């Protein structure tokens, strides 16, 4: 814990008096990413899994399609810079976050897309099914394996699972960084995520949903709420979205056929 949180002197109000004490604060760094000698972005993030973050960001933004597209990558911890070289599928960083208007996923509804997302958002065809107990298990894992959040309250966390087993985890001060770290770790590990589950501690925005789709993940389980646009994307992309997953309860918002519901007891029939 000492390497992941910083002790900070504070004044704490208790009743009608002040107490001089210490609080644990999460660190934050600016990480600048260069790709093929071009400055791509500066990411504000937690100082962990930074190479995974670089791989995942380049993948999510369309610069690379696989880990093999990176020929060389180096992180300088003194400057907080990542240099990478490889095959790029995005002509210019100027396309980053440039909005376009088109029909999403073959649907007739014209909606939000970005230039670097073209041809990358496909409907998920996975027929994977998970039980409620498996879904609850991922939720419990987040609760039981988040000591940094419990100590500081300042991070998001997430993971990739399959058949009840947790394969990869990440944490960060930023929700988007959690997904990029997971994507980068999966790329570097050679994990095919088509039939896998992502579980996550935070809110499900449309941007989070699109990151999930690019990873070809069919099921998302989150502790918090989804937005309306995220659910529209999930319906178009055939992604199962579960929110408010806490303890032994959850809400299934889209594509419930991937969740195996328990058979009714004789008294219920």
Q: What is the pTM of this model?
A: 0.88
Q: Cβ distance 171 to 146 under 8 Å? A: yes
CA 6, CA 25: separation in Å to the nearest integer?
5
**C-alpha triplet 75, 77, 59: angle, nearest 5°:** 35
Q: Clarify whether 105 is annotated catalytic.
A: yes
CA 254, CA 228: separation in Å to the nearest integer?
11
Q: Which residues of the chain have pLDDT under 70?
A: 1-3, 91-119, 263-269
| Cβ neighbour number for residue 33 with a 10 Å cutoff | 24
Q: Provide the pLDDT for residue 145.
A: 87
Q: Provide the pLDDT for residue 96.
A: 61
Q: Nearest to residue 205, comparing CAs of 167, 159, 174, 250?
A: 174
> Domains (ranges, CATH) in the chain?
130-260 (3.40.140.10)
Q: Cβ distance 105 to 235 under 8 Å? A: no
Do the strands 197-200 and 219-222 form a parallel or antiparallel pair, or are they unpaired?
A: parallel
H-helix segments, the chain:
50-60, 132-144, 147-152, 175-189, 206-214, 228-237
Q: Provide the pLDDT for residue 83.
A: 98
Per the residue annotation, which of 45, 104, 105, 255 is the catalytic one? 105
CA distances from 29 to 38, 43, 100 (A): 20, 8, 31
DSSP letters spanning 113-128:
EEGGGTTT--------
């Amino acid at each position: 814990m000492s390497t992941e949180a910083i002790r900070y002197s504070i004044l704490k109000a208790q009743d009608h008096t002040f107490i001089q004490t210490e609080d644990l604060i999460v660190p934050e760094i600016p990480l600048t990413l260069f790709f093929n000698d071009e400055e791509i972005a500066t990411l504000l993030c937690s100082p962990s899994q930074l190479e995974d973050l670089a791989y995942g960001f380049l993948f999510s933004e369309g610069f690379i399609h696989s880990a093999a597209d990176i020929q060389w990558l180096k992180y300088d911890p003194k400057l907080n810079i990542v240099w990478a070289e490889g095959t790029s599928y995005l002509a210019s960083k100027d396309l980053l976050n440039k909005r376009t208007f088109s029909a999403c996923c073959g649907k007739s509804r014209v909606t939000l897309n970005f230039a670097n997302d073209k041809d990358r958002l496909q409907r998920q065809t996975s027929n994977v099914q998970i039980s409620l107990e498996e879904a609850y298990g991922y939720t419990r894992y987040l609760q039981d394996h988040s000591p940094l959040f419990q100590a500081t309250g300042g991070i998001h966390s997430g993971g990739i699972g399959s058949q009840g087993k947790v394969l990869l985890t990440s944490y960060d001060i930023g929700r988007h960084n959690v997904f990029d770290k997971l994507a980068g770790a999966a790329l570097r590990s050679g994990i095919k995520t088509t039939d896998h589950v992502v579980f996550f501690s935070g809110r499900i925005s449309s941007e989070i949903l699109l990151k999930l789709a690019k990873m070809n993940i069919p099921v998302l389980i989150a502790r918090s709420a989804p937005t309306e646009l995220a659910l529209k994307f999930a319906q178009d992309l055939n992604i199962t979205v579960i929110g408010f997953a806490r303890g032994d309860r959850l809400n299934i918002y889209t594509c419930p056929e991937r969740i195996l519901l328990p058979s009714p007891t004789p008294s219920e029939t």
